[in-house]
Amino acid sequence: MRHPYYHARMTACPAPRGVYVFAMLPAAPTGRGGSRRRGASGGRDTPVLLFPASVPEDRLLDGIAADDPALEAIKAAAEYVEIPDLAARAPPIGFYALHDGVLDARNDGAAHPAGAAHPAGAAHPAGASGWRSASGWRSVELRALLPSVFTGALEGSLSRALRAWHIFQWRRESRYCGSCGSPNADADGETARKCPACGRMEYPRIAPAVIVLITSARDEILLAHNRAFPPGLYSLLAGFAEAGEDLESALVREVREEASIEVEDIRYAASQPWPFPHSLMIGFTARHRSGEPCPDGAEIEDVRWFSRENLPALPGSGSVSRYLINRWRAGELP
């Protein structure tokens, strides 16, 4: 069955499970320079999910009912996009993309061009549920919805929301052909962009990153404090796979670079899509073989062994890092 990838309007799509409304809000720089956030679009935009205040906060990932009258305010300002769900015979996933505007809360949801001065009361990112508009619309950073849900297997509505979010960002960044510079169009029948001039196809990017729970012979784990982290927070070592590497080589290299130690007995443990903007986190366990942990002094400020009894502040439970640490703490890993 041929899935329509894109509709200009939602008239032909019942989308019974709800649609999403996404926007990138321009934000003030955080002043947290120096961290390598691969693919981050300048580090200044804040990705948000928009929703009418009538939607309960614990149902945000289910989306907005397609016939919700509140969507009328969005339709004139946003582009409607529909992508196939990955589940067999499931209805497509729909979302509205406010590519070049933000919602003006004082004007019933009308969009204003990015770059123009945002009137007071316009959307501002401020963590979870950051603003409440006059027209009853609110925004939440999609990332803020994650911490309570990752358990090693994605729940359906979370998977759909992350998929829609990944495609939203990719479409923003694939407006022009990378070969000849012509404006891209949506491809027919698959989730891809196609250049009308030279025929080049572009597919959503997914950047694999490895993350590893390293255990010592004394039953400790290796945790690192990255300079981009809040003070006192430690997490597992992680890094992107480079061109020409397999995942095991990437893991060995990252651990060597960031902590100056060698590991062995590398085993796959879990994975997690992390579309901020387009990662796939692939979690492993490994055992310490040799070397004393020593931070690289650049990205990693501190790295050391921790026992179960003296664990520091850890990442939120929505992360694969915390998931692996929790399983180790429960005696389920490695």
DSSP state, 289?
Answer: E
Q: Identify the residue among 21, 177, 236, 325 touching Zn ion (CB under 5 A).
A: 177
Q: Which residues pair with 211 in a beta bridge?
A: 238, 283
40 binds Zn ion (CB under 5 A): no
The position carrying tokens 């358990």 is 151
Minimum gap (Å) between residue 200 Cβ and Zn ion: 5
Cβ atoms within 10 Å, residue 229: 18
Closer of 149 and 201 to Zn ion (Cβ): 201
Choices 12-20, 179-187, 207-215, 252-260 (CB under 5 A): range interacting with Zn ion: 179-187
DSSP state, 64?
Answer: B
What is the C-alpha to C-alpha distance for residues 63 and 95, in angstroms, rounded to an integer?
A: 9
Number of residues that bind Zn ion (CB under 5 A): 8
Minimum gap (Å) between residue 177 Cβ and Zn ion: 3
Minimum gap (Å) between residue 24 Cβ and Zn ion: 25
Minimum gap (Å) between residue 202 Cβ and Zn ion: 9
Minimum gap (Å) between residue 201 Cβ and Zn ion: 10
For residue 242, give the nearest of 28, 42, 12, 36 by alpha carbon.
Answer: 36
179 binds Zn ion (CB under 5 A): yes
Residues numbered 184 to 223 that lie near Zn ion (CB under 5 A) are 195, 197-198, 200
180 binds Zn ion (CB under 5 A): yes
- CA distances 169 to 132, 268, 274, 308, 317, Å, are 24, 28, 12, 39, 24
The residue count for the chain: 334
What is the C-alpha to C-alpha distance for residues 260 and 251, in angstroms, rounded to an integer?
A: 12
Residues that bind Zn ion (CB under 5 A): 177, 179-180, 182, 195, 197-198, 200
